[in-house]
Protein backbone atom coordinates (compact mmCIF):
# COMPACT_ATOMS: atom_id res chain seq x y z
CA UNK A 1 0.00 0.00 0.00
CA UNK A 2 1.42 3.33 -1.05
CA UNK A 3 0.36 6.47 0.73
CA UNK A 4 0.39 9.56 -1.47
CA UNK A 5 -0.25 12.80 0.38
CA UNK A 6 -0.81 16.00 -1.57
CA UNK A 7 -0.54 19.38 0.11
CA UNK A 8 -3.73 21.38 -0.30
CA UNK A 9 -2.60 24.36 1.81
CA UNK A 10 -3.01 27.85 0.38
CA UNK A 11 0.39 28.14 -1.24
CA UNK A 12 0.26 24.77 -2.98
CA UNK A 13 -3.38 25.31 -3.87
CA UNK A 14 -2.43 28.43 -5.81
CA UNK A 15 0.31 26.47 -7.57
CA UNK A 16 -2.21 23.91 -8.74
CA UNK A 17 -2.72 21.25 -6.10
CA UNK A 18 -6.31 20.74 -7.25
CA UNK A 19 -5.11 19.92 -10.77
CA UNK A 20 -2.50 17.58 -9.30
CA UNK A 21 -5.09 15.80 -7.14
CA UNK A 22 -7.55 15.51 -10.03
CA UNK A 23 -4.90 14.08 -12.36
CA UNK A 24 -3.68 11.63 -9.72
CA UNK A 25 -7.25 10.48 -9.15
CA UNK A 26 -7.62 9.92 -12.89
CA UNK A 27 -4.34 8.07 -13.17
CA UNK A 28 -5.10 5.87 -10.17
CA UNK A 29 -8.45 4.97 -11.70
CA UNK A 30 -6.92 4.37 -15.14
CA UNK A 31 -4.32 1.99 -13.77
CA UNK A 32 -6.82 0.39 -11.44
CA UNK A 33 -4.68 1.15 -8.40
CA UNK A 34 -7.42 2.10 -5.94
CA UNK A 35 -6.49 -0.80 -3.69
CA UNK A 36 -2.77 -0.15 -3.81
CA UNK A 37 -2.58 3.62 -3.58
CA UNK A 38 -4.14 5.72 -0.87
CA UNK A 39 -4.52 9.36 -1.88
CA UNK A 40 -4.78 11.92 0.90
CA UNK A 41 -4.77 15.65 1.38
CA UNK A 42 -3.10 17.73 4.07
CA UNK A 43 -2.75 21.41 4.87
CA UNK A 44 0.86 22.51 4.53
CA UNK A 45 4.01 20.42 4.75
CA UNK A 46 6.19 23.35 5.69
CA UNK A 47 7.89 23.44 2.30
CA UNK A 48 5.79 26.03 0.54
CA UNK A 49 8.52 27.22 -1.81
CA UNK A 50 8.75 23.70 -3.28
CA UNK A 51 5.00 23.41 -3.96
CA UNK A 52 3.05 21.53 -5.00
CA UNK A 53 4.35 19.31 -2.21
CA UNK A 54 3.59 15.62 -2.53
CA UNK A 55 4.77 12.91 -0.18
CA UNK A 56 5.03 9.27 -1.17
CA UNK A 57 5.53 7.17 1.95
CA UNK A 58 7.17 10.09 3.77
CA UNK A 59 9.50 11.06 0.89
CA UNK A 60 8.89 14.61 -0.27
CA UNK A 61 8.54 15.49 -3.96
CA UNK A 62 7.89 18.72 -5.76
CA UNK A 63 5.21 18.27 -8.38
CA UNK A 64 3.36 20.63 -10.70
CA UNK A 65 0.32 20.11 -12.92
CA UNK A 66 2.77 19.75 -15.83
CA UNK A 67 4.99 17.14 -14.19
CA UNK A 68 2.31 15.08 -12.48
CA UNK A 69 2.22 12.41 -15.21
CA UNK A 70 5.93 11.73 -15.16
CA UNK A 71 5.93 11.85 -11.36
CA UNK A 72 3.21 9.22 -11.30
CA UNK A 73 5.06 6.95 -13.72
CA UNK A 74 8.31 7.21 -11.82
CA UNK A 75 7.37 7.40 -8.15
CA UNK A 76 3.99 5.75 -7.89
CA UNK A 77 4.10 3.17 -10.68
CA UNK A 78 7.87 2.71 -10.78
CA UNK A 79 8.72 1.56 -7.30
Partner 1 sequence: MKKFDTQVQYLKYKVLREVAGKAWDDTLYEKILDIPKIIIPGPTPTTRCCIYKERAIVEERIKIAMGGDKSNPNVIEVIDLACDECPVAGYEVTDVCRGCLAHRCQDACKKDAIYFDHNQKAHIDKSKCVECGKCSAVCPYGAIVNFKRPCEKSCKVKAISMGPNKAAKIDNDKCISCGSCVYQCPFGAIMDKSYIINVIDILKKSQHNQKYKTYAVVAPSISSQFVHAKLGQVISGIKELGFFTVVEAALGADMVAYKETQELIEKGFLTSSCCPAFVMYIKKNFPKLVEHISHNLSPAAEIAKYIKETDPTAKVIFIGPCTAKKAEFQQEIQKQYVDSILTFEELQALFDSKDLDIYSLPEDVLDNASYYGRIFARSGGLTDAVKQALIELGRTDFEVKPVVCNGIEECRMALLKVGKIDIGNFIEGMACVGGCIAGAGCLTHGEKNKAEVDKYGMEAYEKTIQDAIKVLKK
Query: Could you list the residues that contact partner 1 (CB under 8 A)?
Result: 6, 8-11, 13-14, 17-18, 21-22, 25, 38-44, 46
User: Where do the H-state alpha helices sit in 1-79?
Assistant: 10-14, 17-30, 68-71
CB of 2 to partner 1, least distance (A): 14
Distance of alpha carbon 56 from alpha carbon 74, whole angstroms = 11
CB of 67 to partner 1, least distance (A): 18
CB of 23 to partner 1, least distance (A): 11
Distance of alpha carbon 44 from alpha carbon 32, whole angstroms = 28
Nearer of residues 18 and 31 to partner 1, judged by Cβ: 18
Amino acid sequence: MKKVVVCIGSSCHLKGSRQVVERLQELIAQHDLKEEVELQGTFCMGNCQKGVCVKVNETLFSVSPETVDSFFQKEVMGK
